[in-house]
């Protein structure tokens, strides 16, 4: 790793140095794990106590942090948003990546009729089928399979084991992590007395530019037309996207999300980890669905949904809070019932004393004996 002085680092991240700015650091680390030549950060107050024990040379902290009693030689880098600033710290230390070897590794299989740009890098043991295209500067790291007529644009990276089925299209500047599968058949069957009959899945998958796909993700090809992942979408690991789904620009799908067939996820929507969405629904632009939710209805644009079944977040939180009160409700109800019995007894006593007959039915107050 390269080393950087704290003065340089502070300048590059926009922080004010409190302490010896001439010291050098060699990389970022957490408060608990940092050594004496590393820089750390404090973004969440819950970790405040770790400031007292950290061995870090310097810590990125909030501009207004109280720092009484800290180690004398601990340098502080004060700034408005320590979390965002620390991302800049990390960037400052990103090692220059080894340039991948341009060209086709001798162990890769390129079928006749495939077009690999001369500036592309096709790593060991990849398979590029007939009619497939690999764009300029794109990198197939190793063991990648491109099916017949699959296309990858410029400046994309496909990690080990990625599979693009026949005719799938992936745009420019995309990253697809290891083991992900784009273009497997959608899940469609029709019942018959002998068993399920496969509904042909004749469409494809289109992934636009600037999309990142995590590891072991699956995106199914459309029944017809295309399953579409729009520009700038970021998909985490082990996500499932069914046939004919459209994921709008810059939507985020956190790990283990599942989206059922023909559902549309709006631009800038965020589906939290493990969210499941039923088929043929609309998740509106900028909608947010909390982790673990199961969505069975449309989600209006800009709203915040949560729960199983998912409803507006505040509704769900209120429902959860009131559910916790049910035991108390049952107890109160029992108390009221006992109270009423006592009241009835007292009424009867009064009625007897007044010589009145109890009126058991519907309209007791009217027409009774006066």
243 is an active site residue: yes
How far is the C-alpha of 18 from the C-alpha of 284, rounded, in Å? 46
Is 224:243 a contact under the CB 8 Å cutoff? no
Residues 6+ apart with CB under 8 A from 351: 357, 358
Nearer to a second copy, 137 or 274 (CB): 274
Region for residue 175 given its phi and psi (left: phi exceeds 0; alpha: psi -120 to 50; beta: otherwise): beta
Nearer to a second copy, 135 or 179 (CB): 179
Nearer to a second copy, 22 or 349 (CB): 349
C-alpha torsion angle, residues 211, 216, 217, 222 (rounded to 10): 110
Nearer to a second copy, 71 or 346 (CB): 346
Per the residue annotation, which of 105, 127, 243, 280 is the catalytic one?
A: 243
Nearer to a second copy, 137 or 240 (CB): 240
Distances (CA, A) of 317 to 296, 297, 344: 18, 18, 39
Nearer to a second copy, 68 or 324 (CB): 324
How far is the C-alpha of 274 from the C-alpha of 295, rounded, in Å? 11
- Report CA 147 to chain centroid distance, whole Å: 29
Minimal distance, residue 218 CB to a second copy, in Å: 4
Is 136:157 a contact under the CB 8 Å cutoff? no
Distances (CA, A) of 12 to 9, 57, 77, 87: 5, 17, 11, 11
Region for residue 120 given its phi and psi (left: phi exceeds 0; alpha: psi -120 to 50; beta: otherwise): beta
Residue 299 DSSP code: B
> Which residues are part of the catalytic machinery?
243
């Amino acid at each position: 790793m390269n080393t950087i002085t704290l003065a340089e680092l502070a300048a590059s991240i926009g922080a004010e140095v409190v302490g010896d700015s001439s010291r050098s650091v060699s990389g970022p680390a957490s408060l608990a794990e940092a050594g004496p030549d590393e820089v750390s950060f404090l973004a969440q107050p819950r970790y405040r106590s770790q400031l007292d024990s950290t061995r870090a040379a310097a810590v990125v902290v909030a501009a207004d942090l109280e720092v009484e009693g800290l180690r004398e030689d601990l340098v502080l880098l004060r700034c408005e948003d320590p979390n965002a600033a620390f991302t800049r710290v990390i960037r400052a230390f990103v090692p220059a990546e080894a340039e991948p070897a341009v060209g086709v590794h001798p162990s890769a299989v390129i079928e006749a009729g495939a077009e690999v740009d001369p500036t592309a890098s096709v790593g060991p043991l990849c398979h590029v089928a007939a009619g497939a295209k690999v764009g300029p500067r794109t990198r197939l790291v190793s063991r990648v399979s491109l099916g017949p007529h699959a296309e990858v644009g410029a400046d994309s990276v496909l990690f080990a084991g990625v599979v693009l089925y026949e005719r799938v299209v992936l745009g420019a500047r995309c990253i697809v992590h290891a083991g992900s599968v784009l273009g497997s058949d959608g899940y469609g069957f029709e019942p018959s007395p002998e068993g399920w009959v496969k509904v042909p899945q004749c469409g494809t998958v289109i992934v636009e530019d600037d999309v990142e796909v995590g590891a072991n993700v699956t995106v199914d090809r459309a029944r017809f037309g295309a399953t579409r992942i729009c520009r700038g979408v970021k998909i985490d690991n082990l996500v499932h996207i069914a046939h004919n789904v459209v994921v709008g620009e810059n939507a985020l799908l956190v790990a283990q999300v599942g989206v059922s067939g023909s559902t549309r996820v709006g631009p800038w929507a965020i589906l939290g980890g493990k969210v499941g969405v039923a088929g043929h629904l609309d998740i509106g632009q900028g909608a947010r669905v909390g982790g673990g939710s199961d969505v069975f209805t449309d989600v209006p644009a800009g709203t915040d949904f949560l729960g199983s079944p998912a409803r507006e977040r505040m509704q769900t939180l209120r429902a959860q809070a009131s559910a916790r009160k049910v035991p108390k409700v049952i107890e109160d109800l029992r108390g009221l019932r006992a109270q009423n019995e006592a009241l009835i007894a007292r009424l009867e006593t009064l009625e007897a004393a007044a010589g009145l007959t109890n009126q058991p039915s519907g309209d007791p107050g009217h027409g009774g004996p006066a």
